[in-house]
Chain A
């Protein structure tokens, strides 16, 4: 497979996953904040904090109001990680992958890429429309994942898609966990209160994990939430699960031969497997996540350099 094509597939998957994760956070936060409006406890800035792009937001909008945050994350055509931009980038990428992608997948990406800009043309696009969009995007993402699963040949293209998808999901899940770091609790004695529970609950909600959690762990307990989101082997959005899937796909790409990104990912997996909710909290949740994201970046760079051959190494010019 052409290196450029592999790279484009990988990033298309990442952009779709990124958009749908942002849609998930936005939707869950909205629901949570609806329950908090009366008490003046509404908090929107954490959603921007977890993107790591607070300076960009501040410069453009100033105050982290509900409308501003929604616009920034959903519609802003200049912000590269807004849902609108992620989806249109994925669409542009898909247009460059026409001869590779299954036609159904191309059509879906083609349509999805136009969804948000088209919604802005409608008059009443706020609130209820933002909501609908979040749901539609989440569903379109599931649909896309289904098409990939049902129609793509299990060759390198498929596995680059999955590698991108799962690495992005691991990254986004970790950022979501980070949101707790930014949520303000009025006093430390509020830990374990209704507000604290609401916030953890919204996090589970955005991962479609509410029921899985209560079935397996019962009442909300931060340790157990961390266990599910980071360490669970069977939950398809847990960090451990995502990294394993990505590693699996990397091995399929190279016919089981380990290369640089495999080794980095393997080390990261070993590191996480040795951890427990307690050790994560002792290490510091925020620090744990920062460290994880640095390692994920390293893996991303290693994937690029491994699969883009440098001609002069082989033949000289």
Chain B
């Protein structure tokens, strides 16, 4: 099996340069794959997928027939990122999460950024994720967004751009960890020689952070992961993380507020919970404060939180900065709060609330990507170059009706990586979701993150709910490793 026929096309390819030569960091891997007997890689790929099925690593698809389970397709060829390049991305992510946290804290307190005229007030009050109930909340250590899963893409030059911040309840980290387990099994030799940065300690890092964030004076806090339950598409991940951390996996119906603390109903009576890593949306966490019809949360939870007897990660209200219009201002936030220039660029964004931008968007629908400001999961997007006239006409209507709700961006030529298709390799578009744990004074960035790949030929949509798959992501320190070896 070889890459001789592989055509990286006019794209930035993650493993090959535009001459079709394996990039330095990928050479060991490419050689190893080419040495495999014919059909061997396919066998490994199939075995890996079977392993995922048997382990029950499945997700439920919304809107699909109830109980439909699928595994996320896994591609056996890893994506490789150079360690030095990664260091720059990591620094950019840390900078960004710090600024965004300062912004959220500011918005729910004195709103200095508005007073200083950096962003307009209506911008956040019209953001779907803005929660007036969070005004003057003081989360432990002043951190709101503890766990973030920023989406990055690379353009035709290989430059990284931030596409979305995902500050609410990002998912996917369990796939990073499991893909890694499968890849270590498949390529132990290359893995070792490539000096791949480890991801295995993520649950430990998460656990430590959650302990660190416990309410003041709590020596041995009880940590729980709050899940909407087994029918949620990310349930596997909730259980996986709870298990890895040795935390309780609880549902809303397991919790009760006893007038002071949030407690779990156990076989030995009520047991106090100190830190909740919640994997349900803000709207659902407390029917007393947010959606009254929610059966997923716990009545009284926000009271315990407000009084400092419970920590929530992430804090409620972080969605205010997850809005795609607010996103456009993150570079300004970095300058404003940190007095630094952004290290990671945004994708150039036209805000349709601005009349000129709206007209520009309407005039160039065929070239642009139009996105609703507060949706996630790739829903409700128009990809201009791939759209039909009927779809575009529908967007003209919604854009005119509610311009605040939409942004447009140039259609990026996303980078590609080779995937195994039947018995050969083809290029497919990829993005990257690194995970950042932020505890205030320090942050941890998971090296690499989740590489999502649009498995349909030519597709730009990487979301697992829409036919995307995943790859393991290797951040390699080959050069330093080799130097060390030759010393």
A residues with a Cβ closer than 8 A to B are: 1-4, 6, 92, 95-96, 98-100, 103, 106-107, 110-111, 156, 160, 253, 307-309, 311, 314-317
Residue B259 is within 8 A (CB to CB) of chain A in the complex: yes
Q: Roughly how many angstroms separate A62 CA and B57 CA in the complex, as a whole number?
A: 42
**B56 contacts A1, CB within 8 Å?**
no
Q: A92-B230, A106-B56, A156-B267 are in contact. Are A311 and B256 (CB under 8 A)?
A: yes
Report whether A95 and B269 are in contact in the complex, using a CB–CB cutoff of 8 Å.
no
A309 touches B269 (CB 8 A): yes
Q: Would B55 and A107 count as touching, CB distance under 8 A?
A: yes
- Contact: B239 with A98, CB < 8 Å? yes
In the A-B complex, the 4 residue pairs with the smallest Cβ-Cβ separation, listed nearest first, are A98-B239, A99-B243, A315-B258, A311-B256
> In the complex, how many angstroms separate the beta carbon of B248 from the nearest chain A beta carbon?
7
Instruction: Tell me how far the C-beta of A102 lies from the nearest C-beta in chain B, rounded to whole angstroms.
Output: 11
Q: Is the CB of B243 within 8 A of A98?
A: yes
Query: In the complex, what distance in Å separates the CA atom of A107 from the CA atom of B52?
Result: 11
B65 at the interface (CB under 8 A from A): no
Considering the chains assembled together, what is the distance between the CA atoms of A315 and B259 in angstroms?
7
Query: Closest CB-CB distance, B158 to chain A, in whole Å?
Result: 39
8 more A-B residue pairs beyond the given contacts A103-B55, A309-B270, A315-B258, with a C-beta to C-beta distance below 8 A: A4-B254, A95-B230, A100-B249, A110-B54, A110-B56, A307-B267, A311-B256, A311-B258
Q: Quick check: A2 and B258 within 8 Å, CB to CB?
A: no
Cα-based distance from A95 to B249 in the complex (angstroms): 12
Q: Which of A96, A156, A307, A309 contacts B230 (CB 8 A)?
A: A96
Residue contact A98 to B248, C-beta cutoff 8 Å? no
Identity of the chain B residue whose Cβ is nearest the Cβ of A4 in the assembled complex: B254
Of listed B56, B236, B249, residue having the most chain A CB within 10 A: B56
B239, closest chain A residue (CB): A98
A96, A253, A309, A317: the one within 8 Å of B229 (CB): A96
Question: Can you name the residue of chain A whose Cβ is closest to the Cβ of B229?
Answer: A96
**What separation, in Å, do the CA atoms of A156 and B242 have in the docked complex?**
18
**Residues of the A chain whose Cβ atoms lie less than 8 Å from the Cβ of B259:** 315-317
**A213 CB to nearest B CB, Å:** 39
| Smallest Cβ-Cβ distance to A253: which chain B residue | B267
Contacts of B266 in A (CB 8 A): 1-3, 309
What's the Cα separation between A87 and B266 when bound, in Å?
Answer: 26
Contact of B265 among A4, A96, A103 (CB under 8 A): A4
Q: List 16 A-B contacts (CB under 8 A).
A: A3-B266, A4-B254, A4-B265, A95-B235, A98-B56, A98-B243, A98-B249, A99-B242, A100-B249, A110-B54, A110-B56, A309-B270, A311-B263, A311-B265, A314-B270, A315-B258
Q: Which applies to chain B's interface (DSSP): helix, strand, loop or mixed?
A: mixed
> Bound state CA distance, A314 and B260, in angstroms?
13
Partner of B258, one of A3, A4, A111, A314: A314
Could you say which residues of chain B place their CB within 8 Å of the CB of A307? 267
Binding site for A on B (CB under 8 A): 54-56, 229-230, 235-236, 239-240, 242-243, 248-251, 253-254, 256, 258-259, 263-270
Q: How far is the CB of A268 from chain B (nearest CB, A)?
A: 22
C-alpha spacing A100/B250, complex, angstroms: 12
Q: Which residues of B contact A103 (CB under 8 A)?
A: 55
In the bound assembly, the distance between CA atoms of A37 and B300 in angstroms comes to 66
Give Cα A205–Cα B253 distance, bound, in whole angstroms.
44
Q: How far is the CB of B224 from chain A (nearest CB, A)?
A: 9
Contacts of B251 in A (CB 8 A): 4
Whole-angstrom distance between the Cβ of A77 and the nearest chain B Cβ? 12
A1 touches B267 (CB 8 A): yes
- A111 contacts which of B54, B242, B248, B253 (Cβ < 8 Å)? B54
Using Cβ atoms and an 8 Å threshold, which residues of chain B touch A96?
229-230
In the complex, what residues of A have CB within 8 A of residue B243's CB? 98-99
Query: What separation, in Å, do the CA atoms of A309 and B267 have in the docked complex?
Result: 7
List the B residue with the shortest CB-CB distance to A109: B56
Q: How far is the CA of A107 from the CA of B239 in the complex (A)?
A: 15
| Chain A residues positioned under 8 Å from B249 (CB to CB) | 98-100
Given A2-B248, A99-B239, A99-B243, are A314 and B269 neighbors across the interface (CB < 8 Å)?
yes
Nearest-Cβ distance from residue A193 to partner chain B, whole angstroms:
50
* Residue among A96, A156, A253, A308 with most chain B CB within 10 A: A96
The residues of B that contact A308 with a CB separation of less than 8 Å are 265
Q: Is the CB of B56 within 8 A of A107?
A: yes
Contact of A98 among B236, B268, B269 (CB under 8 A): B236
CB A277 to nearest CB in B, in angstroms, measures 38
Residues in chain A near residue B269, CB distance under 8 A: 309, 314
B421: shortest Cβ distance to chain A, in Å? 28
Quote the shortest CB–CB distance from B356 to chain A (angstroms): 52
Are B267 and A6 in touch, CB under 8 angstroms? yes
Contact check, B254 vs A3: say whether CB atoms are below 8 A apart.
yes
Measured CA separation A317–B264 after assembly (Å)? 15
Q: How far is the CA of A2 from the CA of B268 in the complex (A)?
A: 9
Residue in chain B with minimal CB distance to A111? B54
Q: How far is the CB of A124 from chain B (nearest CB, A)?
A: 26
Residues of chain A with a CB closer than 8 A to B270's CB = 309, 311, 314-315
Contact A95 B265, beta carbon cutoff 8 Å: no
Structural contact, B239 and A2, CB atoms closer than 8 A: no
Contacts known (A311-B265, A316-B259); A4 close to B253, Cβ less than 8 A: yes
Q: How far is the CA of A160 from the CA of B254 in the complex (A)?
A: 18
Asked if residues A2 and B254 are in contact (CB atoms below 8 Å), the reply is yes
A95, closest chain B residue (CB): B230
B56 / chain A contacts, CB cutoff of 8 Å:
95, 98, 106-107, 110
* Nearest CB of chain B from residue A84's CB, rounded to whole Å: 14
Distance in angstroms between the alpha carbons of A315 and B263 in the assembled complex = 11
Chain A residues with CB under 8 Å of B248's CB are 2
Q: What is the chain B residue whose CB lies nearest that of A310?
A: B265
B256 (CB) vs chain A CBs: closest residue: A311
The CA of A15 and the CA of B416, in the complex, are separated in Å by 48
Output the least CB separation between B203 and chain A (Å).
Answer: 12
Which residues of the other chain, A, contact B242 by a CB distance below 8 angstroms?
Answer: 99
In angstroms, Cα B53 to Cα A111, docked, is: 10
Q: In the complex, what distance in Å separates the CA atom of A100 from the CA atom of B267?
A: 15
A2 partner residues in chain B, CB cutoff 8 A: 248, 250, 254, 264-267
Q: Please measure, in the bound complex, the distance between the C-alpha atom of A92 and the C-alpha atom of B69, giving whole angstroms.
A: 12
In the assembled complex, the Cα of A311 lies from the Cα of B299 at a distance in Å of 13
Give Cα distance in the complex from A96 to B239, angstroms.
8
The minimal Cβ–Cβ distance linking A121 to chain B, given in whole angstroms, is 16
Contacts of B258 in A (CB 8 A): 311, 314-315
A307 to B270 CA separation, bound complex (whole angstroms): 11
Distance (whole angstroms) from the CB of B227 to the closest CB of chain A: 10
